[in-house]
Amino acid sequence: MAEKPFDVAIVGAGQAGCTLAGKIAEKGVHPSTGEPLRIAVLDRGPYFKGKPNPGYGSPERRRMFTNLSQDFAGKYTRWTGMPPGARRKVPLQPGQEIFLQRGPAIFGGGTLHYIARTRAPFDIDMQVWEEETGADWGPGVLKPYGQQVHRDFNIHVRPPATLCQLDHLVREAALSSGYELSDYPIAKKNCLLSGYCDGVNMCKYDARQGSFTVYLPLAEQRGAEMIPNARAQRILIERSRGQARVTGLEYLQDGIRRTLEVPHVIVSCGNYETPPLLYRSGYGPRELTENLIVENRNVGQHTDNRPESFGPVGIFDEPVSDGAFRHGNAYYIYYDLDSTHRYDRLAISMWARTVPYPHQVAVDAAAPQFGPAHKDYMRDVCDATKMTRARADIARQCITKLELVRPRNIRGWINEWGEQIYPGHHPSIVSALKKGREVIYELLKKMGAREVVGMDSPVRVHHLEAFVGSCIVGTDPKRSVVNPYFESHDVEGLFICDGSVMPRAASQGYAGSVAALALLASSRIVERHFSRG
Ligand SMILES: Cc1cc2nc3c(=O)[nH]c(=O)nc-3n(C[C@H](O)[C@H](O)[C@H](O)COP(=O)(O)OP(=O)(O)OC[C@H]3O[C@@H](n4cnc5c(N)ncnc54)[C@H](O)[C@@H]3O)c2cc1C
């Protein structure tokens, strides 16, 4: 008997894609027959099957990359950007800046990096989303989904044993200055809390929680088909009598071009990769698309970020930690340049410098270059049993970082190579970050720092955090790409749900917000398209 065709394909099995796959498989049925849906889930990376076992892992999935500070082989991550020899459809203007993203390339790769620190959006974040777009994504609707993410991902504050003296100093100084302080919780279960998973995609022991461990297994249990190593090339869109609709999907798997006939496609390739896929499919602004089928000038536009810059370093007389590898900042301090807390929020993080990995210590500016002095230094700094001089020199330092949440009136856009063109050094961003430095200076002094280094160096935005908005939601089709039900305004059968639909950055974290939105999307898509009619 011939296999039944797929009812829906989910493209991109990251934070949003895994949530959608699990929840739609759990609740959705074919609207006319009531039978279970046939769901295809595609990702450009591999799929390591196995029942999650938080804190222990399963053998197949232990092959996943972890326990190094970076994915050195680049096996499960990809940078966006223009390949050598290629050209941009819209040339860069003088002074424009390009930001790229290192994104996952593995089923579930969008689970949390950076020690799985995340949270659902604050009420104020959701209020801004609702006010700016007209979408009913305010706290009244979305908050319960955020609470569900906290329960499902086991998001909790860090155990006191992982905090050091500096964390306590930061907390006291912020509160006594009257600033808003927020914990930076973690999404983990049965974790060793070594902190050595910093900066990687996965956990060999499944202790890191996310939609991959929590929701994707639901899809597998209900027979969704996982299609790994499948890079979506384009969504097939047909236009007849003025109406465009999805007919299928074309993808490359192991170098072979394949086609899937499917009437519903949910795109979840992330803020940087969703627009290029839509451009390749003929959907977007005329000048960026290939073979234009449907024009919508909002596709790829309106990106928002938290421009990030390092702040000054505080030097204390005595060590403020034991120097052991930890978990970065325990708190965020908010300093609002806008009295409504909506725009230009400075998010400040401060953490004790810890002894880096040996290969990093060896070339550190503080390490003598050669001979016995170098050896003595290495012996000293790596001796975790006592606070040697070299170790104390590191443990006396406080590192700081600044992010500007929702810079007012500043937006960027994504081109066909997944590059974000964004005015990271716009004068209003730079002046806000300068103000943030002053706030950090005062805090460090209050905490008892003897010296504050780096107040005079130029502000440099080295990274954009919380990249969102490239397929923005809205009730007005002239200013947005999807409606509040995650349906494209222009193409029937096309849905978008990932960081790209989020209208503005959340104040903290990111993945938790994406998961909350994806839970809302699953429920709305099931209700409107996959419930018994
Ligand atoms: C280095 C780094 C560190 C981060 N650290 C944190 C953190 O500590 N806390 C936090 O809250 N958030 C963090 N984030 C953000 C977090 O990863 C995102 O919130 C989240 O993954 C976004 O979800 P998404 O579904 O929009 O996209 P993603 O999770 O990125 O998923 C997109 C998926 O689409 C796939 N894909 C892309 N293009 C194609 C294609 N053409 N065909 C098929 N598949 C495709 C990718 O392989 C990927 O699996 C970090 C992000 C990065 C890059």
* 236 Cβ contact list (under 8 Å, min separation 6): 246, 247, 248, 249, 250, 259, 281
**Domain check: are 69 and 100 in the same one?**
yes
Give CA–CA dist 129/517, Å, rounded.
12
**Domain check: are 485 and 501 in the same one?**
yes
Q: What are the b/e assignments for 458-477, b being 16+ CB within 10 Å? A: ebebebbbbbbbbbbbbeee
Q: Name the residue of 158, 226, 498 whose CB sits within 8 Å of the most ligand 1 atoms, as the mutation to test its pocket.
A: 498
Give CA–CA dist 402/103, Å, rounded.
22
**Domain check: are 55 and 165 in the same one?**
no
Q: Is ligand 1 within 6 A of the CB of residue 491? A: no
Q: What is the pLDDT of residue 197?
A: 72
**Domain check: are 103 and 220 in the same one?**
yes
User: What is the CA 358 to chain-centroid distance, rounded?
Assistant: 29
Are the beta carbons of 219 and 39 closer than 8 angstroms? yes
What Å distances lie between residue 77 and 185, 194, 272, 340, CA to CA? 25, 23, 14, 38
**Domain check: are 65 and 148 in the same one?**
yes
- In terms of C-beta density within 10 A (0-12 exposed, 13-18 middle, 19 or more buried), how is residue 116 classed? buried
Q: Is ligand 1 within 6 A of the CB of residue 45? A: yes
Q: What is the pLDDT of residue 69?
A: 46
**Domain check: are 333 and 438 in the same one?**
yes
Q: Is ligand 1 within 6 A of the CB of residue 114? A: yes
Q: Say which CATH number the domain at 401 has.
A: 3.30.410
Q: What is the pLDDT of residue 81?
A: 95
Give CA–CA dist 508/432, Å, rounded.
18
**Domain check: are 529 and 402 in the same one?**
no
* Among protein residues, the one whose CA lies closest to atom 50 of ligand 1: 113
- In terms of C-beta density within 10 A (0-12 exposed, 13-18 middle, 19 or more buried), how is residue 155 classed? buried
* 35 Cβ contact list (under 8 Å, min separation 6): 29
Give CA–CA dist 247/231, Å, rounded.
18
Q: What is the pLDDT of residue 71?
A: 53
Q: What are the b/e assignments for 79-96, b being 16+ CB within 10 Å? A: ebbeeeeeeeeeeeeeee
Q: What is the pLDDT of residue 111?
A: 62
**Domain check: are 176 and 128 in the same one?**
no
* DSSP notation for 144-155: HHHHHHHHHTTE
Q: Give the pair of three-digit tokens for residue 107.
A: 């089923």
Q: Give the pair of three-digit tokens for residue 340.
A: 């409504």
* Among protein residues, the one whose CA lies closest to atom 46 of ligand 1: 105
Q: Is ligand 1 within 6 A of the CB of residue 109? A: yes
Q: In the structure, how many helices (H) and strands (E) does the chain have?
A: 12, 26
Q: Give the pair of three-digit tokens for residue 252.
A: 């490359």
* Among protein residues, the one whose CA lies closest to atom 35 of ligand 1: 12
Closest CA to 448 of 162, 176, 163: 176
Q: What is the pLDDT of residue 67?
A: 45
**Domain check: are 480 and 505 in the same one?**
yes
Q: What is the pLDDT of residue 358?
A: 76
Query: Rounded to two decimals, what is the model's pTM?
Result: 0.95
User: How many domains would you assign to the chain?
Assistant: 2
Q: Using the mean position of ligand 1's atoms as its centre, give its distance from the Cα of residue 273 in Å.
A: 10
Give CA–CA dist 68/367, Å, rounded.
22
**Domain check: are 456 and 525 in the same one?**
no
Give CA–CA dist 514/125, Å, rounded.
13
Q: Is ligand 1 within 6 A of the CB of residue 103? A: yes
* 160 Cβ contact list (under 8 Å, min separation 6): none
Range of the domain at 500: 1-154+189-303+414-421+467-533
> Which atom of ligand 1 is least distant from the CA of 109?
49
> Which atom of ligand 1 is least distant from the CA of 276?
41
Mean pLDDT per 10-residue section of the chain, whose length is 533 residues: 80 96 98 96 91 84 56 73 96 91 82 79 98 98 98 95 94 98 94 75 82 93 96 97 96 95 98 98 97 97 98 97 84 97 97 85 88 91 87 95 97 98 96 98 98 96 94 98 98 98 95 97 98 88
Q: Using the mean position of ligand 1's atoms as its centre, give its distance from the Cα of residue 91 in Å.
A: 27
**Domain check: are 514 and 431 in the same one?**
no
Q: What is the pLDDT of residue 328?
A: 86
